[in-house]
Amino acid sequence: MNKQIFTTVFTISSLMLPLSAEASSFTGINIFGDSLVDTGNLFNLTSAPPSPPYFEGRFSNDEIWVDTLADKFNLNPILFSELGTTIPTEGVNFAFGGATTGFINVGGDALPGLQQQIDSFQELTAIQPADADALNIIWAGGNDYNEAFFNPDSLTVPITDLPEQVTGNLSSAVESLYEVGARNFLVVNLPDLGETPFADFLDGFSPDISISSQLNILTDAHNILLEQQLNNLKTSLPGIELTTLDANSLFREIVSEPSQFGLTNIDNSCLLNFQPGFMFNGVCDNPDEFLFWDDIHPTSAVHDLVAQRAIDTLPHKERVPEPSSIWGLLGLISLILPWVSSSKCRLDQ
């Protein structure tokens, strides 16, 4: 009879497992980088990008991929620009649009680059120790390369050495976060920067050379070096959990077969006749079918694809029943056991 009860309970438990929620080992999310992960810091300080049509300070038409990822893990990281009014319990988004991987922000001297963001995190850990179970996301580098052509005076090294400088900054950022207790990392590589509408804009100023081709060459060099440096960190930093999100492969898949992703336009921005400085003449009617929202940034539909790729790339999380499901299961068992017992009695008669 005990075996019969066990079988009944096991069967019910198995039937209930699909109703369970994905349990995350992440207790918070900290985000570092540029406009591809900024959920409102730049907007809070400068009112840019203009919202609407940009969505609530994001550089897109709706929520971006880190919003979706946070929702997936039932976490709510707060903005760095709101730290004065809110106590962080589930992480902080330190990212600012315009950030390079160094100390420069192309939006202005008063705005932080990636390194100041890391410094801010380190200062915060002096008050509140780093959460070793939080996920730390880093995505930056595009502004370093685009600015090298848009504003050549910004270069501090020969352009051929730029990938080494940029990936070195990213590697140092990981090490600095690790030193104060961070252990879980998701670092994103770069999509082909020469495929953006902004690259076409730059080509218009340089009829003798193809800046878009040079940007793609730099992107390839960046991604190769970044992978090498991150692999070195995996072996040199004990206990680190370091995952690379291959955005480059995803965007190449999208460009190769856009219809497979529900897209019809991979060349133009949804914001009509967009020019740097947030100048445009209107908004397209079907943003979900566009790869680009403006001259650099993806639409929210593409951000959803990035989020899904991130979820698929992160280490697998075991599925466990939610507390409500557990109580429901116990309740069912309490109802079933008397039934099983009475059935046994009837069978014995």
Across 75-90, average pLDDT: 90
Across 87-104, average pLDDT: 95
Give the residue with greater pLDDT, 12 vs 36. 36
Across the chain, what does the average pLDDT equal? 86
Sequence length of the chain is: 349
Across 278-291, average pLDDT: 96
Domains and CATH numbers, the chain: 22-195+212-248+303-313 (3.40.50.1110)
Give the residue with greater pLDDT, 37 vs 208. 37
- pLDDT score, position 316: 61
295 near 201, Cβ under 8 Å?
Answer: yes
Distance separating alpha carbons of residues 106 and 91, to the nearest angstrom: 26
Q: Give the least confident one: 132-136, 180-184, 330-334.
A: 330-334
Q: Determine the longest span between alpha carbons in the chain, in angstroms.
A: 98
- pLDDT score, position 22: 45
- pLDDT score, position 84: 84
Instruction: Name the E strands within 97-207.
Output: 135-139, 184-188
pLDDT per position as a tens digit, 110-166: 999 999 999 999 999 988 889 999 999 999 999 999 999 999 988 899 999 999 999
pLDDT per position as a tens digit, 241-269: 999 999 999 999 999 999 999 999 999 99
The pTM of the full predicted model, rounded to 2 decimals, is 0.84
CA distances to 56, 113, 149, 219, 222 from 44, rounded to whole Å, are 10, 16, 28, 31, 31
Across 306-317, average pLDDT: 88
- pLDDT score, position 321: 39
Distance separating alpha carbons of residues 155 and 81, to the nearest angstrom: 29
Distance separating alpha carbons of residues 163 and 217, to the nearest angstrom: 10
106 near 143, Cβ under 8 Å?
Answer: yes
- Least Cα distance to 148 among 96, 221, 226 occurs for 221
The helix/strand count (H/E) of the chain reads as 11, 10
CA distances to 67, 182, 223 from 91, rounded to whole Å, are 13, 12, 27
- Least Cα distance to 138 among 97, 90, 192, 101 occurs for 101
Q: Give the least confident one: 25-34, 79-88, 279-288.
A: 79-88
